[in-house]
Amino acid sequence: MENKFYSIFTDIGKTQLVNATALGLKLNISKIKIGDGGDDNGAETNPKETDTDIVRGRWEGPINDLKKHPKNDKWLVTETIIPDTVGNFYITEFGLYDDQDNLIVIGKYPKTYKPTLEEGSASSSYIKVILELANTDTVQLKVDPTVMLASKEYVDQELTLHKQQPNPHPEYLRNKEKATDDEINAGLNDKKYITPLKLKSNFKKLLGLYKSNQTEINKGDEDNKFVTPKKISWGFAVELGNNGYIKFPSWLSGLIIQWGEGTAGQSGDYTVIFPISFPNHCSQIVGIHEGTGCAAVLEVFKTKTKSSVTLRSLNHLNQPGAWGLNWIAIGY
């Protein structure tokens, strides 16, 4: 039985489709025109491949959807909705146009009247056109999305897909219950949320819990806490020069190394005043003379203290002399 109502590609449409397929491009379908066949009472039309426009257009608008038919990959389904504000004409023909206003597909439509509200009845008209193509991926929809209308079928389908998503709105909290301090500390609940203020407060507590104090640093036994730069350098001091010292922090046992230079008097004695006093004890001091003379002995002449010591230089005849000398002292 011959189809009474049908759609065909025009010569322009076939050329555009062949070119798009050969060059790997897309044929952009952008709008649809609805017509009455040139008669107010709706005239039957006979679309031909040579047509470049429908007989008489009564309304044109965007195509709302363009998709493959779920049961046939060779079929391409186009849909549009004529709003309820448009009417007072018959529909007997339609045409699909590309973004250059070329008639790509022309079709014959069952005679249907489109009323308006002023006539006592108003409704939106849903127009669906099915095209058969060898490659449906060659044709794509190109319209202004701000003027498109969605069909009920499209809305229902999208809503179903939306509901099937495990978390369709990641920007919203799915659980409005706030975690308590105990739950935050336990770290077991992944359903409740934490506010920035609560996070900051608990983070500070966490830092305090896992920050080493000076006693723990000095002992050096724990391996599950962090050390701040201030704690690491606490007690460390240095003074560089001809006379100077290095004072190590308490976690390195508070070791102090001091050094200096000077010149003994004619008696051979030289009193060393340490750059800093040893807090506990001066353990060792060593020295060597500096100069052209010959010093056989550089001795600690008097008892060393935490802050000073007297050195005496003697020659090989056990006679004192005014020699230059350098010294190093170690203590804590």
Q: Which tens digit of pLDDT belongs to each residue from 272-316?
A: 899 999 999 999 998 887 766 555 566 676 778 999 988 877 766
Average confidence (pLDDT) over 176-188: 73
* φ, ψ (nearest 5 deg) of residue 327: -145, 155
Q: What is d(CA 329, CA 326) in angstroms, rounded to the nearest whole number?
A: 10
Domains of the chain and any CATH numbers: 6-157 (no CATH), 177-209 (no CATH), 237-331 (2.60.40.3940)
pLDDT of residue 292: 63
pLDDT attached to residue 42: 95
Average pLDDT, the chain: 78
| Sheet containing 125-132, strands listed edge to edge, beginning at the edge strand earlier in sequence | 65-69, 72-82, 125-132
Residue 81 and residue 50 in contact, taking contact as beta carbons nearer than 8 Å:
no
- Which pLDDT score is estimated for 128? 85
Band of pLDDT at residue 120, cut at 50, 70 and 90:
confident
Q: Give the Cα separation of 109 and 37 in Å (integer).
A: 10
Q: Decide if pLDDT at 174 tops 90.
A: no
As a whole number of angstroms, the distance between CA 9 and CA 208 comes to 76
pLDDT, position 231? 62
Share of the chain above pLDDT 90, in %: 29
* Count of Cβ atoms closer than 10 Å to residue 46 Cβ: 10
